[in-house]
DNA sequence: TCAATTGCGTAATGCTATAACGTGTGCGAT
DNA sequence: ATCGCACACGTTATAGCATTACGCAATTGA
């Protein structure tokens, strides 16, 4: 899905995520936007819903947080599942694709006649810097 | 990790999950155990913590729920990541392994010098029955 | 005996997400 | 024009998920 012009709230939420150097929870975003008039969680969640729909933000299921897409230009999400490596020490996230993984999982779902809608791949651990 | 003798609470939680035909949330488990003396979420969470540690229960990150391991005998978790296919209609879960996927992800983490601790692979969609 | 560990019970709190209500605005169809 | 509709927005309340903090009892092992 291509992102149309963002509304004011959507743009504010996106900016906060863009400036952050790691994933943020919805409530952290809310706190960062109180000065801009945000008062309630729903203002954040509604904006996130759209940003997710447009594919410019990803949700990290394993840590209930949100992060900007690392591949804003390539339309990477149209050709496979996105995977994430999340450092549990510094919070840094790496987003990547692996077609071979996609194909293996697709093979499995085809074999089981399972109709996949949304696939989550998240690796939690320590990044190179933090593991040293 | 091998499971030692379960305590009373652990056994109760395990039984509830075993009898269920799909994943359950911690609070659903709590409700099912009120007749057995459970009063507080912590009684469930503490039991789950141990059951997860013993590897006899899995946590489904994308739906905040818990399910018994589908491979109680094989010590499957020692030889790779567990993946799940979760039907969003009937709630059924299929647990599987794919060494090729494991190897691809391990190759990636090695390449990035990322020290993986816990990997989540969850496919949400419709099972064969529900997709028909 | 003493200390450390583990499990348990309870209350309180915190974090995450949605439901339900109403408002206003833009825009095409009648 | 004005009606109907879609959409974004604001607010309050509530639902759902998880942990902190405190204290007690039983077990273990030096
Ligand atoms: Zn992306
Ligand atoms: Zn790190
Ligand atoms: Zn298992
Ligand atoms: Zn199904």
Contact B32, B16 (CB under 8 A): yes
Q: List CB-based neighbours of ion ligand 4 within 5 Å.
A: B 87, 89-90, 127, 130
- Is B1 a member of any domain? no
Give me the residues near strand C, CB below 7 A: A 25-28, 40-42, 45, 64-65; B 7-10, 37-43, 46-47, 50
Cβ <8 Å between A94 and B87: no
CATH number at A110 reads 1.10.10.10
* Total of domains in chain B: 1
Which nucleotides in chain D lie closer than 7 A to a protein CB?
8-13, 16-21
- A1 falls within a domain: no
A108 φ/ψ sector (left φ>0, alpha ψ -120 to 50, else beta):
alpha
Domain range holding B115? Answer: 8-131
Alpha-carbon distance B87 to nearest alpha carbon in chain A (angstroms): 8
DSSP secondary structure of B60-94: EGGGTEEEE-S-SSS-GGGGS--EEEEETTT--EE
Report if residue A3 sits inside a domain: no
Nucleotide showing the shortest C1' distance to residue A63 CA? C16
Q: What is the CA(A99)–ligand 4 centre distance, in A?
A: 27
Q: What is the pLDDT of residue A127?
A: 95
Q: How far is A128 from chain B (nearest CA, A)?
A: 5
Helices A8-19 and A41-54 pack at an angle, to 10 degrees, of 80
Let me know if residue A2 belongs to a domain.
no
pLDDT in tens, A77-128: 666 789 999 999 999 999 999 999 999 999 999 999 999 999 999 999 999 9
Pick B117's closest partner by Cβ from A105, A118, A124. A124
Assess whether pLDDT exceeds 80 at residue B78.
Answer: no
Quick one: pLDDT at residue B73? 67
Instruction: Name which of A16-20, A74-78, B15-19 the model is least confident about.
Output: A74-78
Report pLDDT digits (tens) over A19-72. 999 999 999 999 999 999 999 999 999 999 999 999 999 999 999 999 999 986
Residue B3 within any structural domain of the chain? no
Please check whether residue B82 is in contact with residue A121, taking contact to mean a CB–CB distance below 8 angstroms: no
A76 touching B (Cβ < 8 Å): no
Give the number of A-B residue pairs with CB atoms closer than 8 Å: 122
**d(Cα A115, Cα A112) in Å, to the nearest integer?**
9
Average pLDDT, chain B: 93
Q: Is residue B67 part of a domain?
A: yes
Q: Is B91 on the interface with A (CB under 8 A)?
A: no
């Amino acid at each position: 899905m291509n992102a149309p012009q963002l509304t004011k709230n959507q743009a504010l939420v996106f900016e906060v995520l863009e400036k952050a150097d790691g994933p943020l929870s919805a409530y952290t975003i809310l706190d960062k936007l109180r000065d801009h008039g945000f008062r309630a969680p729903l203002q954040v969640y509604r904006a996130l819903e759209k940003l997710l729909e447009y594919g410019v933000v990803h949700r990290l299921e394993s840590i209930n947080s949100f992060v900007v897409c690392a591949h804003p230009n390539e339309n990477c999400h149209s050709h496979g599942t996105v995977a994430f490596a999340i450092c549990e020490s510094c919070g840094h996230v790496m987003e990547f694709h692996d077609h071979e993984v996609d194909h293996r999982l697709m093979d499995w779902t085809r074999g089981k006649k399972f109709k996949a809608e949304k696939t989550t791949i998240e690796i939690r651990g320590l990044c190179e810097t933090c593991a040293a």
